[in-house]
Chain A
Amino acid sequence: MKKSVFLGTLAATTVLAGVAFGGTLDDVKKRGELICGSNTGLTGFGMPDANGNWVGFDVDLCRAIAAAVLGDATKVKFVPTTGETRFTALQSGEVDVLVRNSTWTFSRDTELALDFVAVNYYDGQGFMVKKDLGVSSAKELDGATVCIQTGTTTELNLADFFKQNNISYTPVTVADDSEAQRQYLAGACDAYTTDASGLAASRATMPDAANHIILPEIISKEPLGPVVRHGDNNWGDVVRWTYFALLIAEEKGVTKANVDEVAASTADEEVKRLLGVSGDMGPKIGLSNDAFKNAIKAVGNYGEIFAANIGEGTTINLARGLNALWTQGGLQYAPPLR
């Protein structure tokens, strides 16, 4: 029986001081660490590099939240979650916030008792096919074999799309993105369907990118964003406004590099409130007054995060498209900070 103590001590020392219901902000502060549910590895959005540091578009949002709440962008623990485990991990309090390209849908928002607090990436489901297949529209895919990831909303969208257009298909279900890409490249399916961003990312890394085309049809709306538990409104506000702060920063031209300078010299009242020079926006949601400034300083504004991880010029090379600021014809729009 000697060894059962091992388990006991293990339990005693690794139990996290997480209280699942209410007061996530206080828990995070007390713990001194933000626990962020992330992908198990999705190029550009969230994956660990060779040194075990997490990098990616979603990861940077987590870091911004940590910087806003704790003043230190490194105090984040990333818990990799799979399609099956992600929402349970959030519901049970294992993670504080889930930033894992999860689609905002009615049933997830209501039945699963989750709150989608913002949309950090507007996406839609598309199809990629090889050029020599001679197909120019998804409606010509009658009888095709389609590779699809399980555990996502995409399989429902796919079924609906083919049904509406009264054409048939054979689904080939795969476990994850890299496996889907392998199958598609090997010719095990005629078309690969997932979020358009994922398609572009896959296409960018293919040795013969020019031989693949992404079909014009976008068959669904996929608003992807950070998720928190239902009922903890204060924490939801923290996550939501940290994200909006990054948007406002881009809108006002505040960047990682010039944030201190702008804070000292700006005459714009909203920027002053954003950077905590005037007003008490931070304390109103339980943060310090320079919380948003810390967030911007740590990871940069929304545009910088986008450009650094997935934007044009990176290997993934995504255009801003719908994710451009509203001032530039996109959908990213932050309510006024006042």
Chain B
Amino acid sequence: MALATDVPKESFRLSMLIYDSRYRAVTIQVVVLLCFGLFVAWLLNNVVQNLAARGKVFDYGFLWARAGYDINQQLIPYTNDSNHFRALLVGLLNTLVVAFFGCIFATILGIFVGVLRLSKNWLVSRLMTVYVEMFRNVPLLLWILLSYVIFSEAMPEPKAFRVTDEMVAAGQEPAASMLFFDSVAITNRGTSIPAPLFSRGLGSVDLGFVSLNLTFLATTVVLGLSIWANRRLRASARATQEATGIRPVIWWKSLLILLAPIVLLFIAMGFHLDYPALKGFNFQGGLQVAHSFTALLIALTLYTAAFIAEIVRAGIQAISRGQSEAAFALGLRPGRTMSLVILPQALRVIIPPLISQYLNLTKNTSLGIAVSYLDLRGTLGGITLNQTGRELECMLLMMVIYLIISLCISAVMNFYNKTVQLKAR
């Protein structure tokens, strides 16, 4: 005979905060929040006291003071008269450029090695296993140091490239020569490569705090438009195929759309290459790539590629044998089976761990400290910190920047992951 109204109205008692599971969650959360708040307050209080004791103020004003030091790799104009903020930007770009190329090269090499590790060729698969195990089980720091030592010890000095009159007369060859039709010179102090230059560039527009390079902007816009047009073309081709069952031949149209506009633009802007040449002590002209960059990039690539190879291998092995057998039954060759059937499916397994490898690689760029690569840590967290003595400000800013980079990468890759994953229909 129990009716809903019969349930006695429970009066609230204080002990229910602990013993009643309905309220306990609230209690715990309030307690946790309180403790956390107290903890933060305690930390802040300590910081204020410590700063006062050392006679310092928390202030980012130093970022606008003259930096006074030089950076040997600059993607944006920088001199020692620029301010510390500019140095920070240079360092940040140096971090990003290593991370960017590192991720690309490591992925390519990783996929290559991962596939070869499963190769039927005994020797090759063994060699790849040795490579993977060696790089995975030895600290990255060692690889960075080693590749740096190899570059500066094994490569010839710039003067080895010199051709003197006596040597010409005696018919001697210089001790070292440039690669790729005299366009690339690898010396023990850096790699010189041809630099793209525009004789009729579009100049740049100053927008107050940043100057916008119009040449770069035009190139990006044109490239973007071509890619978009190409996608439209492919979409229409697919529509034709769906409708008629015959896929129209579009590869030459596609190539034309992709290449013609950019080539025209480059010709219009007077594109030419500036080749490096030996002048004075060093190679001048062209682009000088410091070995700290190359060594860091190579070590990061090889190290991360070993991990990616394992991920790729696991991904491929996760695809059931039936898939490849079915592909063979359809008459596909092994190469096409891999690229058309296995890899696209394995991609779904591969992407999530690949994201964390990209994140690791990006964070590991900070090990450039071992070869004094002036990345974000080297400028903001290194020389700037040293010259200004603002460790609290510099370190906090540096952590926030790294955090933002990491969050951006995982956001982009997670978005990509969503597009690759099987969609429930």
Contacts and interface: CB of A to CB of B under 8 A. Distances in A.
B54 A174 contact: no
A150 B280 contact: no
A183 B282 CA distance: 15
6 contacts: A151-B386, A158-B70, A169-B70, A172-B290, A172-B292, A188-B291
B90 to A, nearest CB: 13
Contacts of A337: none
Given A159-B69, A159-B70, A84 B371 contact: no
Nearest to B80: A159
Smallest CB-CB A-B distances: 8 pairs: A173-B372, A187-B157, A159-B80, A188-B152, A112-B389, A143-B280, A188-B189, A155-B69
B281 A151 contact: no
Interface residues of A, number: 41
B53 interface: yes
B378 A84 contact: no
A150 B54 contact: no
A175 B371 contact: yes
Nearest to A135: B281
Contact of B54 (A91, A156, A163): A91
A25 to B, nearest CB: 19
A188 B54 contact: no
Interface of B: 53-56, 68-72, 80, 149, 152-153, 157, 188-190, 279-282, 284, 288, 290-292, 369-372, 374, 378, 382-383, 385-389, 391
A111 B389 contact: yes
Given A155-B69, A169-B70, A187-B157, 11 more contacts: A112-B389, A113-B54, A143-B281, A150-B378, A150-B386, A170-B72, A172-B189, A173-B378, A187-B188, A188-B152, A188-B188
B153 A186 contact: yes
Contacts of A183: 152
B383 A87 contact: no
Given A150-B378, A156-B387, A172 B72 contact: yes
A142 B280 contact: yes
A156 B71 CA distance: 11
Main secondary structure of the interface of A (DSSP, over half): mixed
Nearest to B374: A173
Contact of A189 (B54, B189, B292): B189
A155 B383 contact: yes
A113 B385 contact: no
A64 to B, nearest CB: 28
Contacts of B70: 155, 158-159, 169, 171
A21 interface: yes
A75 B80 CA distance: 45
Nearest to B62: A111
Contacts of B369: 175
Interface in A156-209: 156, 158-160, 163, 169-175, 182-183, 186-190
A174 B372 contact: yes
A88 B371 CA distance: 23
